[in-house]
């Protein structure tokens, strides 16, 4: 036995907590009308997850909660039902020996589900029950007045009930799940495909960009290589050329230097005419000195002449004095003699006017004094002793004369010195004039040489400036290159450069020996590639690469995702297919088994006759619904919820019965009791094939007469061997078969109460 007990609390008329134990295979619930028996059956539906409030005779969830009565029990805020299963044989896929399902509903109609006290989703309850053959179609809970439910139901509903009873729900559930997943997967596929479609053009665009960037990178690498070859060579070549020119320049420069220095000298020489002038001045000054020397010489000579004259007269006077030593008287002085003296003085004075200098004046004064003395001495009576005086005077004059002669000699020497000097300066002037002429000649010569040297140097300077231009060009090229391919090329001039054939680095000799046009060609190629690199433009290169990487990663991700989704879609399709096949096989097998049981139960109930169910394929469309209108009611019900799926074949179950001794075939022609018996036979047949853990039958036996009640009772006993039975009944026969009996009563307060009763009590209560 699987069902242990049921606890109802606040549910409908069960205001108080009420527990029903199901320790027997058959439990009967009896009681007067309206006491709340059916509420017990409904509490089963409720706790097993029934979603239709209507099927529990309510409009809203709130209707399921104890709503208060005339008594003391106030209305409840929640209704709860707990059902306990014995899970020691693992009826349910849970590792617990007892499984308690609970459902609580609140006044706001919100339901809560719990498994062993843990809140779960409705889905979890349904899954758990489906695995235990407790389907949701309620085929194992037959409500009051629903005994012929399976007969009234349309083929599709019947089929569902049978599927549920056969335990196929779990597969159908799995199938639906798979279909949902498939649908979701398809949606995802469509979504991913659309995402992929969205990024494809962008990816294409980026790819092109990336190809361009990669091409540019290749070009840059090539350019870098060319720069390495070009820069090293150019640098070495230019350094060498510059050195050569600088060496070549040295000779003409030296030459020019000496030419220019000589030229400077010559020019100096030529411009030294002030020297000549000075010499001329010197010449003039010497001429002046010469003249004055000459004047002085003449003067001295005159003085000497006069001195000689004086000496002569003195000598004569001395001789006279000697002769006149004895006579000493005054001699009268003739006037003429005085006149003579006067003339002599005047003459002296007039001679003195043309002379200058104090010396000359002194001389003049001296001579005048001499004249006067001589005059006096001439006329004075010379005493005898005066002879001596004359002699000493003569001696003095001699001395004077000697002095003058020495002076004369000196002046003469001076004069001849001046002459010599004059001659020398003249000579110098003459020779300088010659020199200047030579200098001029030399200057013209030097100027010619200078011109030549300049011409030679200018050629070299030309070379030098060409080298400088090449150097500028190279430097500009390196700068431009560095901006295009990176700063490392700035060092290329100092780094080794591998030779074109690879191997050892190129040497200076190789570089110098290489024909220049190769280097020019290199530069030309560099320029060409540079233009291409510049045209490609490098802006945002990294960004594009990054974006391309991201987008292509996304694309790969989406492709993988798509392939995963397609794989899972395929596997879902397979799974659905498998489930379909399994469902079909199990269903067909089930139908065969049910038919065997149905036939036998039917025969038992009716004492013969034939009954079977069969699978029918039907194709119904909404279009047909419109055409056929009201007459198609049953099919409409069958089609409910499927209108959208036109032309899709739907299978259902039809029931064929043939009563014994009666030529009645259609279900519609059966009496109420016959319908009840037929449906009970079918229900029991179904339950026999795949017995549910429990079956609840709410007054299924209501329409049976005594004879049939007995047969019904027999069948129940048989059925209870496979499933636990809870029977709500007024039928005495049925009660007699029950192992446990519960009586339900309801007092004035409207509260259902439960009590265990003995058979007799039950019979009494049931009335
Ligand atoms: P019968 O033998 O005639 O089939 P029964 O014993 O099956 O009767 P139920 O139909 O189970 O009786 O009980 C119906 C009773 O439950 C009614 O009296 C109804 O008023 C009461 N009931 C239903 N819902 C509520 C509710 N929410 N609160 C209080 N009482 C309720």
Spell out which residues line ligand 1, taking CB within 6 angstroms. Answer: 12-13, 31, 33-39, 63, 65-67, 144, 750
- Which of 8, 18, 38, 701 maximizes ligand 1 atoms within 8 Å of its Cβ, making it the mutation to test the pocket? 38
pTM confidence score: 0.54
Averaged pLDDT of the chain: 84
Q: How far apart are CA 31 and CA 754, in angstroms?
A: 9
Give 663's pLDDT tier (boundaries 50, 70, 90).
confident
- Ligand 1 atom nearest the C-alpha of 75 is 28
Cβ 679 vs Cβ 647: under 8 Å: no
Query: Could you report the per-residue pLDDT of 564-577, keeping only the tens digit for each?
Result: 999 999 999 999 99
Can you give the pLDDT at residue 84?
96
Closest residue to atom 5 of ligand 1, CA basis: 34
- Which of 8, 14, 39 maximizes ligand 1 atoms within 8 Å of its Cβ, making it the mutation to test the pocket? 39
Q: Which long-range contacts (CB under 8 A, 24 or more apart) does 187-190 make?
A: 188/565, 189/562, 189/565, 189/566, 189/569
In the 8-state DSSP scheme, what is residue 746? E
Find the DSSP H helices in 610-755. 622-628, 633-639, 672-689, 706-719, 732-737
Burial of 68-104, coded b for 16+ CB within 10 Å and e otherwise, reads ebeeeeeebebbbbbbbbbbeeebbebeeeebbbbbb
Cβ 686 vs Cβ 678: under 8 Å: no
- Ligand 1 atom nearest the C-alpha of 39 is 11
Can you give the pLDDT at residue 646?
47
pLDDT of residue 627 exceeding 80: no
Q: How far is CA 509 from CA 233, 236, 290, 514, 519, in A?
A: 11, 10, 81, 9, 15
Query: Could you report the per-residue pLDDT of 11-22, keeping only the tens digit for each?
Result: 999 999 999 999
pLDDT of residue 403 exceeding 50: yes
Residue 262's nearest CA partner among 448, 455, 433, 432 is: 448
Give 385's pLDDT tier (boundaries 50, 70, 90).
low
More confident residue, 213 or 30: 30
Lowest-pLDDT range, 202-206, 303-307, 502-506? 303-307
CA 165 – ligand 1 centroid, Å: 29
CA 622 – ligand 1 centroid, Å: 40
Query: Could you report the per-residue pLDDT of 706-754, keeping only the tens digit for each?
Result: 888 998 898 899 889 989 999 999 999 999 999 999 999 998 899 999 9
54 C-beta neighbours (distance < 10 Å), count: 10
pLDDT of residue 461 exceeding 50: yes
pLDDT of residue 560 exceeding 60: yes
pLDDT of residue 763 exceeding 80: no
CA 148 – ligand 1 centroid, Å: 22
CA 48 – ligand 1 centroid, Å: 20
Give me the mean pLDDT over the 386-397 stretch: 80
Query: Could you report the per-residue pLDDT of 418-443, keeping only the tens digit for each?
Result: 888 888 888 888 887 887 788 888 88
Give me the mean pLDDT over the 164-191 stretch: 88
Closest residue to atom 17 of ligand 1, CA basis: 34
- Ligand 1 atom nearest the C-alpha of 79 is 27
Taking the chain, what is the end-to-end CA distance rounded to the nearest angstrom? 30
Query: In this prediction, what percent of the chain has a pLDDT beyond 70?
Result: 92
Q: How far apart are CA 513 and CA 496, in angstroms?
A: 17
CA 13 – ligand 1 centroid, Å: 6
CA 748 – ligand 1 centroid, Å: 13
pLDDT of residue 381 exceeding 80: no
Can you give the pLDDT at residue 332?
66
Can you give the pLDDT at residue 127?
86
Cβ 429 vs Cβ 273: under 8 Å: no
- Ligand 1 atom nearest the C-alpha of 41 is 11
CA 62 – ligand 1 centroid, Å: 15
- Which of 34, 54, 735 maximizes ligand 1 atoms within 8 Å of its Cβ, making it the mutation to test the pocket? 34
Residue 743's nearest CA partner among 759, 756, 733, 730 is: 756
Give 558's pLDDT tier (boundaries 50, 70, 90).
very high
Task: Phi first, then psi: give them for residue 35, nearest 5 degrees.
Answer: -80, -20
Cβ 522 vs Cβ 511: under 8 Å: no
Can you give the pLDDT at residue 642?
41
Residue in the structure block whose two tokens are 């009716």: 606
571: CB partners within 8 A, 6+ apart = none
Can you give the pLDDT at residue 641?
39
Give me the mean pLDDT over the 587-604 stretch: 90
Give 626's pLDDT tier (boundaries 50, 70, 90).
very low
Q: How far is CA 743 from CA 555, 598, 756, 759, in A?
A: 71, 33, 6, 10
CA 749 – ligand 1 centroid, Å: 12
Q: How far apart are CA 270 and CA 444, in angstroms?
A: 12
Give me the mean pLDDT over the 229-238 stretch: 92
Give me the mean pLDDT over the 515-541 stretch: 84
Closest residue to atom 4 of ligand 1, CA basis: 33
Give 56's pLDDT tier (boundaries 50, 70, 90).
confident
Q: How far apart are CA 297 and CA 300, in angstroms?
A: 5
Q: How far apart are CA 606 and CA 658, in angstroms?
A: 10
CA 724 – ligand 1 centroid, Å: 24
- Ligand 1 atom nearest the C-alpha of 58 is 24
- Ligand 1 atom nearest the C-alpha of 64 is 27
Q: How far apart are CA 479 and CA 227, in angstroms?
A: 11
Query: Could you report the per-residue pLDDT of 471-512, keeping only the tens digit for each?
Result: 998 999 999 889 888 888 888 888 888 887 777 888 889 889
pLDDT of residue 26 exceeding 60: yes
Cβ 13 vs Cβ 36: under 8 Å: yes
CA 64 – ligand 1 centroid, Å: 11
Cβ 590 vs Cβ 241: under 8 Å: no
Q: How far apart are CA 96 and CA 600, in angstroms?
A: 39
Q: How far is CA 482 from CA 72, 474, 527, 710, in A?
A: 100, 12, 14, 110
pLDDT of residue 619 exceeding 60: no
């Amino acid at each position: 036995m699987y069902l242990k007990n049921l606890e109802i609390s606040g549910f409908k008329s069960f205001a108080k907590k009420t527990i029903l134990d199901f320790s027997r295979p058959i439990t009967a619930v009896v009681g007067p009308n309206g006491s709340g028996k059916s509420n017990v059956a409904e509490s089963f539906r409720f706790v097993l997850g029934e979603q239709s409030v209507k099927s529990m005779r309510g409009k809203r969830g709130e209707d399921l909660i104890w709503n208060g009565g005339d008594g003391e029990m106030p209305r409840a805020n929640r209704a709860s039902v707990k059902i306990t299963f014995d899970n020691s044989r693992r009826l349910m896929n849970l590792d617990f020996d007892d499984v308690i399902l609970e459902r609580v509903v609140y006044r706001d109609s919100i339901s809560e589900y719990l498994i062993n006290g843990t809140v779960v989703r409705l889905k979890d309850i349904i899954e758990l029950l489906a695995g235990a053959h407790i389907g949701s179609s309620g085929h194992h809970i037959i409500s009051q007045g629903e005994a012929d439910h399976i007969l009234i139901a349309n083929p599709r509903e019947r089929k569902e009930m049978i599927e549920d009873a056969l335990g196929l729900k779990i597969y159908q559930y799995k199938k639906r799940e798979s279909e949902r997943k498939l649908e979701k997967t398809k949606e995802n596929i469509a979504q991913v495909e659309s995402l992929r479609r969205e990024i494809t053009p962008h990816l294409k665009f980026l790819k092109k960009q990336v190809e361009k960037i990669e091409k540019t990178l290749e070009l840059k690498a090539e350019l870098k290589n060319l720069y390495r070859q070009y820069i090293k060579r150019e640098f070495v070549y230019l350094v060498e050329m510059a050195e050569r020119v600088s060496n070549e320049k040295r000779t003409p420069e030296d030459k020019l230097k000496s030419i220019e220095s000589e030229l400077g000298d010559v020019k100096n020489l030529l411009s030294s005419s002030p020297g000549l002038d000075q010499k001329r001045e010197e010449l003039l000054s010497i001429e002046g000195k010469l003249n004055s020397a000459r004047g002085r010489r003449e003067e001295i000579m005159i003085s000497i002449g006069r001195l000689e004259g004086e000496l002569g007269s003195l000598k004569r006077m001395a001789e006279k004095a000697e002769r006149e030593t004895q006579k000493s008287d005054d001699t009268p002085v003739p006037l003429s003699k005085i006149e003579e003296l006067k003339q002599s003085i005047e003459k002296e004075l007039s001679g003195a006017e043309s002379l200058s200098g104090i010396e000359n004046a002194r001389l003049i004064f001296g001579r005048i004094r001499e004249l006067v003395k001589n005059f006096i001495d001439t006329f004075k009576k010379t005493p005898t002793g005066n002879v001596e005086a004359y002699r000493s005077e003569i001696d003095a004059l001699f001395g004077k004369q000697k002095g003058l002669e020495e002076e004369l000699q000196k002046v003469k020497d001076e004069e001849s010195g001046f002459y010599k000097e004059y001659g020398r300066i003249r000579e110098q002037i003459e020779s300088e004039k010659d020199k200047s002429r030579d200098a001029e000649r030399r200057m013209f010569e030097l100027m010619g040489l200078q011109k030549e040297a300049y011409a030679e140097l200018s050629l070299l300077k030309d070379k030098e400036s060409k080298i400088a231009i090449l150097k500028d060009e190279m430097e500009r090229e390196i700068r431009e290159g560095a901006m295009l391919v990176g700063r490392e090329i700035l060092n290329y001039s100092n780094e080794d450069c591998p030779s074109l054939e690879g191997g050892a680095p190129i040497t200076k000799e190789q570089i110098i020996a290489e024909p220049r046009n190769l280097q020019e060609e290199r530069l030309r190629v560099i320029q060409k590639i540079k233009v291409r690199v510049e045209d490609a433009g490098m802006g945002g290169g990294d960004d594009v690469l990054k974006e391309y990487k991201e987008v292509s990663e996304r694309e790969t991700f989406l492709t993988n995702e798509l392939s995963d989704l397609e794989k899972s879609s395929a596997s879902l399709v397979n799974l659905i297919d498998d489930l379909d096949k399994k469902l079909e096989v199990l269903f067909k097998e089930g139908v065969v088994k049910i038919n065997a049981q149905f036939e036998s139960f039917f025969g038992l109930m009716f004492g013969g006759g034939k009954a079977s169910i069969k699978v029918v394929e039907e194709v119904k469309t909404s279009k047909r619904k419109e055409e056929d209108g009201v007459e198609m009611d049953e099919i409409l019900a069958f089609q409910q919820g499927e209108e959208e799926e036109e032309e899709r074949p739907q299978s259902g179950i039809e029931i064929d019965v043939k009563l014994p001794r009666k030529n009645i075939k259609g279900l519609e022609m059966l009496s109420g009791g016959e319908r009840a018996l037929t449906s009970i036979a079918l229900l029991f047949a179904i339950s026999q094939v795949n017995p549910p853990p429990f079956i609840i039958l709410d007054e299924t036996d209501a329409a049976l007469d005594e004879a049939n009640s007995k047969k019904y009772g027999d069948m129940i006993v048989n059925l209870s061997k496979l499933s636990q039975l809870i029977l709500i009944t007024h039928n005495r026969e049925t009660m007699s078969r029950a192992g446990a009996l519960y009586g339900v009563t309801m007092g004035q307060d409207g509260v259902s109460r439960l009590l265990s009763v003995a058979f007799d009590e039950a019979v009494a209560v049931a009335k």
